[in-house]
Amino acid sequence: MREIEVSEIINVISRLCMEANYYLPDDVLECIKQAQAKEESPAAQAILDQIIENNVIARKEGLALCQDTGFAVFFVELGQEVRITGGDYQEAFDEGTRRGYEAGYLRKSIVNDPVFARANTKDNTPCIVHTRIVPGEELKITFCPKGGGAENMAEVRMLTAAHGIEGIKEFVIERVKKSGGNPCPPVVVGVGVGGNFEKCAMLAKQALLREPLGTPNPDPNFARAEAELLENINNLGIGPMGLGGRTTALAVHIETFPCHIATMPVAVNLNCHVARHKSIVI
Amino acid sequence: MNLREKTLAIRLTTPLTDNDIEKLKIGDNILLSGVIYTGRDAAHKRLHDLLKKGEPLPIDLQGAVIYYVGPAPAKPGYPIGSAGPTTSYRMDPFVPLMFQHGQKGMIGKGNRSEEVIATIKKFKGVYLAATGGVAALIAKSVKSMEIVAYEDLGPEAIRRLVVEDFPCIVANDCHGGDLFKEGIKKYQR
């Protein structure tokens, strides 16, 4: 049994909040540069230049890449040999978020009541923590701040087996097409297939975290679907910020899970080109 | 590429006049200077409610450009934190009444409703698209910032910004042009 103090978690979370919001992951930047080499629209080229330049400024000056520093979402793998001591687990994540967003000059974007008061909580809490208990005595925390603009373009649809892979592809294309410039393309397309209503939504979000960006699904059928979807999405012509171009998506990642004999749920979650995420192991 | 875009850019200064706006067409690269106001979801709702009740607004809408943004907090020594555009469609329902009261321009990201496009045409307005997610870069064009209304809204408070060479592109012009439709048509296969 290994003990981890909540104070350590708080410090790690606080640092993660800042670093993920200042530094664009290298694999994302690499994909943007590769896309730029193939881009035909001069206006789109100029936008991709701005994206690359923005990364340089944010990194050098320690500034948020995007003013929307997101809902703080954490995916945690908690080793079953670990005991958390010295305080409340969820509160440790909230406190780390509170400190990181304050010290890092990150925007506080959370309102207390989704419908009526909608008063800003002023410290970006509560955060959302998805915890999975795994073997071992490590604590792995992945932080992915998610902006509202891209999150608003997500959808879950309860397809059935009769729709097959073609039905899934139609749905994904339709979702990206309807989203246009709103989710800040070039986007990363996360697709969750299988499980149930809530599981496929989780899979779609986890699909956004696959590293390095553009790594194909290990199953050749889904890898083929990912490649076809990427090509079809880029043929939509939406382009960076929806102003026309050949670069609409940087990657399509499909994650799957077994499902019920009667169902084939599918979820699509888009990430903006500021595809922030960072992991740390305690 | 940026250099080429810059040399071709049109310099505009707020407040905008009919004469300024008539010359603009979709795809024009703009470097905007002068005073602009920030406003997004919650601030728009309040302004719209005041207009409906016939009450005075906390800002002067005549020729005004509203930038759809909720900036990050400013670090010491900076006038503003990172400040890129938010998605514009959420403000669509408020646009007709605001333009009826003198607003001329808006800066945001993403396409607009048919109603907004018609409003721009009717009142000689312009919708400028800025690049989402390049918020540290855009903040460089902001020279000063002061909160002028609704401080309780935090990042959604209305701020008065003085900007210099703010980079944006004409997405919807007063002639009915829509760069989102035209751009996509050009590059789809």
Chain A residue closest in CA terms to B71: A67
Chain A residue closest in CA terms to B138: A54
Q: Which tens digit of pLDDT belongs to each residue from B138-188?
A: 999 999 999 999 999 999 999 999 999 999 999 999 999 999 999 999 999
- Whether residue B3 is predicted with pLDDT greater than 70 in this model: the reply is no
Per-residue confidence band for B4, with pLDDT thresholds at 50, 70 and 90: very low
What one-character DSSP code corresponds to residue B168? E
Which residues of chain B have a CB within 8 Å of the CB of A58? 82, 136
Q: What is the mean pLDDT of residues A172-195?
A: 98
Q: What is the mean pLDDT of residues A226-233?
A: 98
Specify the pLDDT at position B8. 78
How large is the ipTM? 0.94
Strands ordered across the beta sheet of A278-281? A128-134, A73-79, A139-143, A278-281
- Whether residue A248 is predicted with pLDDT greater than 60 in this model: the reply is yes
**Residue B48 annotated to the active site:** no
Per-residue confidence band for A206, with pLDDT thresholds at 50, 70 and 90: very high
Q: What is the mean pLDDT of residues B75-95?
A: 97
Specify the pLDDT at position B7. 55
Q: Average per-residue pLDDT in chain B?
A: 95
Specify the pLDDT at position B1. 40
Pairwise CA distance, residues B97 & A79, whole Å: 57
Pairwise CA distance, residues A37 & A40, whole Å: 9
A277 close to B (CB below 8 A): no
Each domain of chain B, given as residue ranges in start order, spans 2-187
Asked if A42 and B4 come within 8 Å (Cβ–Cβ), the reply is: yes
A184 close to B (CB below 8 A): yes
> Given this structure, which CATH class describes domain A148-275?
alpha beta
Asked if A42 and B1 come within 8 Å (Cβ–Cβ), the reply is: yes
Q: Which tens digit of pLDDT belongs to each residue from A43-52?
A: 999 999 999 9
- Whether residue A219 is predicted with pLDDT greater than 60 in this model: the reply is yes
Pairwise CA distance, residues B36 & B145, whole Å: 10
Neighbours of B5 (CB within 10 A): 19
Q: Which tens digit of pLDDT belongs to each residue from A10-63?
A: 999 999 999 999 999 999 999 999 999 999 999 999 999 999 999 999 999 999
Each domain of chain A, given as residue ranges in start order, spans 2-19+65-145, 148-275
A64 close to B (CB below 8 A): yes
Which residues of chain B have a CB within 8 Å of the CB of A61? 136
To test the contact with chain B by mutation, choose from A60, A67, A118 the residue with the greatest count of B C-beta atoms within 10 A, namely A67
Asked if B133 and A108 come within 8 Å (Cβ–Cβ), the reply is: no
Size of interface A-B (CB pairs under 8 A): 177
Q: Which tens digit of pLDDT belongs to each residue from A77-128?
A: 999 999 999 999 999 999 999 999 999 999 999 999 999 999 999 999 999 9
- The Cα of B55 is separated from the nearest Cα of chain A by a number of Å equal to 23
User: In chain B, which ranges are E strands?
Assistant: 10-13, 29-38, 65-67, 105-108, 126-129, 142-149, 158-172
Q: Which tens digit of pLDDT belongs to each residue from A116-163?
A: 999 999 999 999 999 999 999 999 999 999 999 999 999 999 999 999
Asked if A245 and B183 come within 8 Å (Cβ–Cβ), the reply is: yes
Asked if B84 and A182 come within 8 Å (Cβ–Cβ), the reply is: no
The topology under which CATH files domain B2-187 is fumarase (3.20.130)
